[in-house]
Amino acid sequence: MFNEVLVGNQKNSDGVVSKARGGKNGEQIVSGLHGDYYEAASRGQVFTASTVIAGVVVPVAAATLNSKFTLWNPAASGVNVELISIFLMADNATTVAGVHSLMIQRNLTSNDGIPTTVTTLCPSLPAGLGGASQVTVAAQATLTNAQIPGVATAPYIGVWPLGGYGAVTSTGMADLTHNFNGKLILAPDSLVALVQMRAATVASFCQVCWAEYPI
């Protein structure tokens, strides 16, 4: 009686109680009604933020960093942050070869890594049906005590490669989109900062989308 599924197609009317549909191998068949983030967006838990259209020059990763695009989940936020996607577009047809990455820093309070000089805030806007974000996105923040491979000695953080531009001159703008698919989550007292692996002077428009879940 329990865990039964009905094999084959069904044609039911509204209000009819039916069994779950199954396949010939005993598997349960399901279909998506909405997109992956419909429920979170409809509950006011999905947000987006971006730089100004003119963009920012993304800095090279360093132990002390003048970050130009940081998403910071404060210790008292009460939410876990799931990164959904990030989008970059060079504001110049000439680009310099390089790889964009996210520096991930956790346990900021105990590692003396809380950002300072946090200015030029990027408004966190609801992507769905309302809601108020608990995190801070800034186009100016000083990050300290961040160790990256081969740089200084300090609390280690991760580097999450996103992709990069080739060294080209073209009539179209270079851009990249990275979807995280649930692989990167920020607990309270942590942050991610957009960096490059080599120096470049081309400004990029940056946009990030994320979901917040109460804990």
38-70 pLDDT, tens digit per residue, is 999 999 999 999 999 888 888 877 777 788 899
By DSSP bridging, strand 21-22 and strand 6-7 are parallel
At 154, the pLDDT band (50, 70, 90 cuts) reads very low
144 burial via Cβ count (<10 Å: 0-12, 13-18, 19+) = middle
At 126, the pLDDT band (50, 70, 90 cuts) reads very high
pLDDT of residue 43: 94
Of 102, 100, 107, whose CA–CA distance to 145 is shortest?
107
Q: What are 55's two structure tokens?
A: 């963009």
At 127, the pLDDT band (50, 70, 90 cuts) reads very high
pTM of the predicted model as reported, rounded to 2 decimal places = 0.81
Whether the per-residue pLDDT at 137 is higher than 50: the answer is yes
11-35 pLDDT, tens digit per residue, is 888 888 888 888 888 888 887 888 9
Q: What are 211's two structure tokens?
A: 């979901």
pLDDT of residue 201: 65
